[in-house]
Amino acid sequence: MQHRAIGVFDSGVGGLTVFKEIARLLPKENLIYLGDTARVPYGTKSVETVQRYALEAAEFLINRGVKVLVVACNTASAVALPQLRQRFQLPVIGVIEPGARRAASSQNQRIGVIGTEGTINSRRYPEAIHALLPDALISSIACPLFVPLAEEGWAEHEIARLTAVEYLQPLMTENIDTLVLGCTHYPLLRNTLRRVLGDGVSLVDSATETAKSVQQLIQQNGLENPDSGGQHTFFVTDVPTRFEKVGQSFLGKSLGRIEQVQIG
């Protein structure tokens, strides 16, 4: 088990923010990433469709002998995590629970959540936060334009700032002190969000919090790779050209070989 890889999947390239943080915290671990680029985005799909896609992605990684499965997609975490945990006999970590735990440290208990339509409509973040902080006032807003802005490399462009002002105005009137970045693309817009919100709002990066949860699970269960490891393998379900280009900007380095596969 120790020598097996950690499996990470997302609907596309956004989960690389989670992948990057796991690689930083656990440099000896082998990582396998699957981007379901042929069927991206998940955020606008029905619950049943996302559940089916998530099960197929998970099966692909599990067939490669991973020891931990990381669902690096907020939408899939919101609607498919129970099914994945019931189906497969290995640890499954999503991005919502770690983010909710961090958000529960809010001082004035006024919390904003931004994400895709699928994630926001699922209400999973408010449910998870209220389980820890029952009296919290939570305001949720879908911000679909943030994803293409991040992938286009315009995360700090003036267009991104104006879009953020438009999206976040209702949250600012609620006097939030914590904002959950409920999509794995959104950490790329951190600087823009900080410019709009100011320093008084804590930004909760679900990618970072998820990586910490993976590190804790690996260490507590004696699953650390005893060898040097550190091998990274990438799979996509469509032509990898755009994934390679955008992924390089996400990770800040070349991804190396990317293999196109068919799942489902």
The answer to whether 185 is a known ligand-binding residue is yes
The answer to whether 63 is a known ligand-binding residue is no
Q: Which residues of 182-191 are buried (b: 16+ CB within 10 A; e: fewer)?
A: bbbbbbbbee
Dist. CA 248–CA 244, nearest whole Å = 6
Task: Classify the C-alpha dihedral 3-57-60-261 as positive or negative.
Answer: negative
CA 6 from centroid of its chain's CA atoms: 15
In the annotation, is 143 catalytic?
Answer: no
Q: Could you say which of 32, 111, 180, 183 is catalytic?
A: 183
For the beta sheet containing 258-260, the strands, ordered from the edge strand earlier in sequence to the opposite edge, are 92-93, 68-71, 6-10, 31-35, 232-236, 258-260
Q: Could you say which of 40, 73, 100, 171 is catalytic?
A: 73
The answer to whether 125 is a known ligand-binding residue is no
Dist. CA 5–CA 214, nearest whole Å = 12
Dist. CA 6–CA 19, nearest whole Å = 10
In the annotation, is 73 catalytic?
Answer: yes
The answer to whether 42 is a known ligand-binding residue is yes
Dist. CA 148–CA 8, nearest whole Å = 22
The answer to whether 119 is a known ligand-binding residue is no
The answer to whether 184 is a known ligand-binding residue is yes
The answer to whether 229 is a known ligand-binding residue is no
Q: Summarize the annotated binding site as residue ranges.
A: 10-11, 42-43, 74-75, 184-185
| Active centre residues (catalytic) | 73, 183
Q: Summarize the annotated binding site for substrate as residue ranges.
A: 10-11, 42-43, 74-75, 184-185
